[in-house]
Chain A
Amino acid sequence: PADTRDAAQPWPRSAPAPVTDVARLCVCDLLVAQCDPNCCCDPDCSPEEFSLFTACSVPLVTGDSRLCSQKAAVYSLDVEANPPQRIFQLIDRVNPSIFCIRATNYKQALYLRSPEMPTPENFDELLHKFGSSAFSAEPENWKVDTEAPNPPDLNETSRYEFGVPIQTEDAFLRLPSPVVSSWCSDANPAGFLVNQDTKCIRAVSVEKCDRIPALNMLFYTNSSILAVPKSSQTVNVSVQSVVVQSLDGMRTLLKEGKDVLRLPVILGELCLNVVLGVSYHITYTDTGEIREAAAAFVLGAISKETPSVQQSFQISFTQVDTNPVALSGNPGYVVGLPVRAGSRPGEYPFQGELGSSGRCQLSVLPSSAHECLAAQGARAPVLFGHNVLSGCTLRITAAMKCQPLAQTLLDVLKGPDFPEYVASFGNSQAQDVLDWVPITHLLISEQRISATLQSSCQIPVSLRIEVKWTKYGSLVNPQARIVNVTATLTTTTLRQLPPGRERIIPVTSSVVFTDVSAPAEPGYKAWPTLNIKLPFDFFYPFV
């Protein structure tokens, strides 16, 4: 029909012609139908507005300066006149160079080329030339390069390398993680030797809970991992332990947790055995081969009211036949990692230190402690670089005996196993005795001057651990090294209370890190020495 044909041609067949008249070109004329300030070539400005200008932002508009003679429009302000006036001159500028262009017979020589307007005839060709993410003068070249894309990380056929996604029989080992938003995305592959710890939210409903694969234990243990990429050797994911979490958050470890399989089951208004957390432990060899894979599950229950559930996923890697001791830095301490400490079991036989992964750890009272005597057990590790001040309150009654109280407070302040040595570097090995700094103990007793007998007992009220560290190594990459650890215990006298009275005293523990770095010394290379020696018989026959 005629009207649709007319309506189908709204756009012009070619782009509008470029403006080449120098007198009409104005780069600073940005506002339509309004006067641009300090724009002398603006046609919307009236002489009164010109008189308000201070300078011309565009003093000269010319054609291509490589031409032998070109037209130029010169704009200037005559500030002497009253009121100031704009002067417009159209002159011919001459290029004195001998290589100036006298004439061109090529229309688009000195102008930018107008792009082709797409028509039904040339659309395919234009799409082929300009349709990809990069244009090239020879589009065929690009085609050849991208025709055989190499899968980026799968070229290693013999072993896994750091960061390479772990392959399973069908695809990759998936570790659901939040992408962009907090919702779980199941397409995140786990990388070899990349320890991850993610939490994400998944939408659930009780009616469909047995049909959502990500809530099912099988989804995580089903696919077996390839021991080396592109091989046929597979490693099954075994179930290491199962922890069942009730609706109110209490967790219990299942006794028969090994290799048990619990599928989601709908029971009335609840759905049980929903996967709330998976923790993979992969054992690998130093040749990049995966030996074992185990997964520890946390199963929970969801009710009809919960629209979404938060799942947490971790993956950690351990080398075969090693006992993993988490390093706190390599070699210098990293701020935020725990300070490694240990103790020597005895002078003889010389056993070496215990790492901090054992019971022996430098720890302080947690900041959540309120009542000292109830706070036994919970400890917070000392993290390098983090100054901590925490404490608890102690309620003293008349009936308390001093000595047991002092011992209890000492245990509360110092923790169950107070170490004797602290590692000076984040990666100090237990065998290197010289890399461990002994903890110095100081005792300050606040004694009342007025008539106290030495036999009155002292109870510890404050423990201050001062860690002195220095920058070690090169100036551009200094490593933190602990040089001195001093534990200062402050005690105060416990006055006998009259019966029935109570006293509340605060007990504090603090950790302070001080930087005792010496100023950096420049180290210069030694002056080169010239090693010139005359031969032995140089002055023959005189010598």
Chain B
Amino acid sequence: LSSLPLQILFYVNGIYYIFYFLATLAMIIYKSQVFSYPDDFLAPDLAVLFLMAVLEVPRLYLGCKGNLREEAAALGLSLGVTVGSVALALYLLAWQTYVLWAEVLLGALLLAAYALEAALKVTAIAAFV
């Protein structure tokens, strides 16, 4: 049986991620105007943010598909991409050039969501296999 909490979490994660992406982008723009943000420090931060956005789409898609069709492979792939997303989110939380308090909050929330998702995926894979 598909995991209902996981599906709910995917749905919420999708909406929250859009908000997170826009908020982080706005704050990077704000930081670049207010603080001294040279180009060779701005580029990696923006690259990580966009990479995370790009990874989010297949992650959610694969997760949804695997959960609804009760396929362990897709869920496993989604879990792998989640690990990558966690790493990028951790970079934005701790190793950005400037880390604002708001970013810490949003990032922590996102990481909590990822962690919960990962746990639910593992249980789902165990159930499907």
Given known contacts A106-B41, A109-B35, is B97 in contact with A98 (CB within 8 Å)? no
Which of the segments B13-21, B99-107, B115-123 contacts the partner chain? B99-107
- B102 with A101: CB separation less than 8 A: no
Whether, in the assembled complex, B51 has its beta carbon less than 8 Å from a beta carbon of chain A, the answer is: no
Q: At the interface, is chain A mostly helix, strand, loop or mixed?
A: loop
Given known contacts A99-B27, A99-B30, is B102 in contact with A109 (CB within 8 Å)? no
Tell me the smallest distance from the CB of A100 to a CB of chain B, in Å: 5
Task: Give the residue name and chain of the B residue nearest to A68 (CB).
Answer: B101
Residue among B27, B36, B101, B105 with the most chain A CB within 10 A?
A: B101
Specify which chain A residues have a CB less than 8 angstroms from the CB of B96 in the assembled complex: 105
Whether, in the assembled complex, A102 has its beta carbon less than 8 Å from a beta carbon of chain B, the answer is: yes
- A106 with B97: CB separation less than 8 A: yes
Specify which chain B residues have a CB less than 8 angstroms from the CB of A102 in the assembled complex: 99-101, 103-104
**Chain B 61-78 interface 0/1 with A at a Cβ cutoff of 8 Å (1 = within):** 000000000000000000
A100 CA / B95 CA spacing, docked (Å): 16
A82-109 contacts to B (CB < 8 Å): 97-106, 108-109
Specify which chain A residues have a CB less than 8 angstroms from the CB of B36 in the assembled complex: 108-110
Specify which chain B residues have a CB less than 8 angstroms from the CB of A109 in the assembled complex: 35-36, 97-98
A100 CA / B102 CA spacing, docked (Å): 8
Tell me the smallest distance from the CB of A413 to a CB of chain B, in Å: 81
- B102 with A98: CB separation less than 8 A: yes
Given known contacts A99-B27, A99-B30, is B95 in contact with A105 (CB within 8 Å)? yes
Pick from A97, A100, A104: contact of B97, CB below 8 A.
Answer: A104
Task: Give the residue name and chain of the B residue nearest to A95 (CB).
Answer: B101
Tell me the smallest distance from the CB of A92 to a CB of chain B, in Å: 15
**Chain A 292-334 interface 0/1 with B at a Cβ cutoff of 8 Å (1 = within):** 0000000000000000000000000000000000000000000
A98 CA / B106 CA spacing, docked (Å): 11
Specify which chain A residues have a CB less than 8 angstroms from the CB of B35 in the assembled complex: 66, 101, 109-110
Interface size for B (C-beta < 8 A) is: 17
Specify which chain B residues have a CB less than 8 angstroms from the CB of A97 in the assembled complex: 101
- B98 with A98: CB separation less than 8 A: no
Given known contacts A106-B41, A109-B35, A109-B36, is B99 in contact with A101 (CB within 8 Å)? yes
- A100 with B100: CB separation less than 8 A: yes
Whether, in the assembled complex, B29 has its beta carbon less than 8 Å from a beta carbon of chain A, the answer is: no
Task: Give the residue name and chain of the B residue nearest to A103 (CB).
Answer: B99
A106 CA / B95 CA spacing, docked (Å): 9
A103 CA / B36 CA spacing, docked (Å): 14
A105 CA / B94 CA spacing, docked (Å): 9
Tell me the smallest distance from the CB of B94 to a CB of chain A, in Å: 7
A101 CA / B101 CA spacing, docked (Å): 6
Given known contacts A99-B30, A109-B35, is B100 in contact with A104 (CB within 8 Å)? no
- B98 with A104: CB separation less than 8 A: yes
- A99 with B99: CB separation less than 8 A: no
Pick from A99, A105, A106, A110: contact of B100, CB below 8 A.
Answer: A99
Tell me the smallest distance from the CB of B125 to a CB of chain A, in Å: 36
**Chain A 153-177 interface 0/1 with B at a Cβ cutoff of 8 Å (1 = within):** 0000000000000000000000000
Tell me the smallest distance from the CB of A494 to a CB of chain B, in Å: 95
Task: Give the residue name and chain of the B residue nearest to A98 (CB).
Answer: B102
A98 CA / B95 CA spacing, docked (Å): 19
Specify which chain B residues have a CB less than 8 angstroms from the CB of A99 in the assembled complex: 27, 30, 100-102
Specify which chain B residues have a CB less than 8 angstroms from the CB of A105 in the assembled complex: 95-97, 99
A110 CA / B98 CA spacing, docked (Å): 10
- A104 with B41: CB separation less than 8 A: no
Task: Give the residue name and chain of the A residue nearest to B100 (CB).
Answer: A99
Residue among A66, A97, A100, A105 with the most chain B CB within 10 A?
A: A105
A109 CA / B37 CA spacing, docked (Å): 8
A102 CA / B92 CA spacing, docked (Å): 12
Tell me the smallest distance from the CB of B100 to a CB of chain A, in Å: 5
A109 CA / B36 CA spacing, docked (Å): 6
A/B interface sample: 29 pairs, CB < 8 A: A66-B35, A68-B101, A98-B100, A98-B101, A98-B105, A99-B27, A99-B100, A99-B102, A100-B101, A101-B35, A101-B98, A101-B99, A102-B99, A102-B100, A102-B101, A102-B104, A104-B97, A104-B98, A105-B95, A105-B96, A105-B99, A106-B97, A106-B98, A108-B36, A109-B35, A109-B97, A109-B98, A110-B35, A110-B36
Not counting A98-B105, A99-B30, A109-B97, a sample of 18 additional A-B residue pairs whose C-beta atoms are within 8 angstroms of each other reads A66-B35, A68-B101, A98-B102, A99-B27, A101-B35, A101-B98, A101-B100, A103-B94, A103-B98, A104-B98, A104-B99, A105-B97, A105-B99, A106-B97, A106-B98, A109-B98, A110-B35, A110-B36
